[in-house]
Amino acid sequence: MLVKKHKLAIHGGPKVRERLFPAHITIGEEEKLAVNKVLDSGILSNFLGAHHENFMGGVTVRDCEAAWAKRFGAKHALTVNSNTSGLIAALGAIGIGPGDEVIVTAYSMCASATAPLFYGAVPVFADVEPDTFCLDVNSIESVITPNTKAIVVVDLFGQPYDAHAIRTLAQKHDLKIIEDCAQAPGASLDGEHAGMLGDIGVFSLNYHKHIHCGEGGVLLTDDDNLAQRISLIRNHAESVVGPMGITDLTNMIGYNFRMTEIEAAIAMCQLDKLDTLLQTRWGRVKYFESKMSGFEALTMPAVREGATHAYYSHSCLWNTTVQVARNVFIDAVKAELSCFELRQKEGVKLGVGYVPPIYLLPAFRQRCSIGKTHDPLTNAWQNYEIGLCPVVEDLHNRRMVVHDFIVPSMQEADIDDVVLAFEKVWDQRDTLLV
């Protein structure tokens, strides 16, 4: 292969891939027709924040919810305007409040950990499993206190969390489980769908996810009471609890977390495409992994026993016995590659680590989240400092390599270029040693 003989791009040589990678677009004619139907109706949202038959939204929202409930075998599906608001509604629904503690992961999108703060409760960080990157049951157990009320688990990168062990632990301590399955639509564990592996599951429909409607979220639960409380928090609970005769007023100051009819129409079309999109994604993962099977610097993602992984991203592990440093090597590979069409500003979709440990964010380090005084973090017992979750820090700083080159729009020839870039840099790795 001639291209491998050229100087590395990072040293001024030609890139392996100049042409942009194909845009990952899942929106088509179906969505346009469905949106036009809503536009023609003249009613873009049909929620009323009052004790009224429209309290639960318009016909498209309800149809969308019925479709999601059916797909995942849930008794209730409730749409919201984002996963972030969904997590807040879920934590409100289980009744947490000031003084309560909620165990969260230190390695996820920040909303997975901050939701408890909106009710004055304290997120308590636990560490993750080094091979699946989901919460570690032993670490969870080590931070349970008499104040612990719930656990927010995350199916990170599309891998279902360790539901069997963590549910057993939760039962023992009477804790609720909120499953943040934003990255895992279509994942499963021993036949149970991600989203149904806790008391409440929360999907995201923002535009980075497997399927999307611009912005949006869907909650799943089998619990009638939790479903009702979510619907109240979603839509101005305070104005309807009186007429509805609700007596437990905990967290019954609602928000406007309502999804519009337009987004619901798109979300329904997108759900129809999920299984096909997943099949394609699995094909891309299989192809990439077969091509990279002999590549000694990277270990391909582990899959939990009994699990189907949804591969939101493809999260590999760097072999730290390799002489060249991970960050230097990955910078060199990135220099060989191009961006995705439409997403040029986001750079090459290959990175070292995911996001920094959440406890290092300013809100935690400065213990200031919702108030200058009486902040829930003021007297929280954890130290928001380097060293709190060693596995997360090791993954982030030394081991993890994440990329998006497995999205359905990638063809095999595109993946070949990615593999070639890794090989070219590997062959010339000595030039990266200083």
Ligand X SMILES: *Cc1c(COP(=O)(O)O)cnc(C)c1O
Residues within the interface to ligand X (CB under 6 A) = 82-84, 108-109, 111-112, 154, 180, 182-183, 204, 206, 217
Are the CB atoms for 180 and 160 separated by under 8 Å? no
Least Å from the CB of residue 289 to ligand X: 22
196 φ, ψ (degrees, to nearest 5)? -120, 15
Kindly state the smallest distance separating residue 376's Cβ from ligand X, in Å: 20
Paired tokens of 353: 């680590």
Cα distance between residue 4 and residue 427, in whole Å? 8
- Distance between terminal CA atoms of the chain? 26
The smaller minimum CB distance to ligand X, of residues 139 and 204, is found at 204
The C-alpha atoms of residue 347 and residue 237 are separated, in whole angstroms, by 42
CB 39 within 8 A of CB 179: no
Q: Residue 15 Cβ, how far from ligand X at the closest point, in Å? A: 30
CB of 217 to ligand X, least distance (A): 5
Least distance to ligand X from the beta carbon of 146, Å? 28
CA-to-CA separations, 331 to 43, 335, 345, in angstroms, rounded: 50, 6, 17
What's the CA gap between 223 and 178, in Å, rounded? 13
* Minimum distance, C-beta of residue 263 to ligand X, in the bound complex (Å): 11
Q: Do residues 213 and 268 make contact, with C-beta atoms less than 8 angstroms apart? A: no
* 3-state SS assignment for residue 189: strand
Tell me how far apart the alpha carbons of residues 98 and 280 are, in angstroms, rounded to a whole number.
45
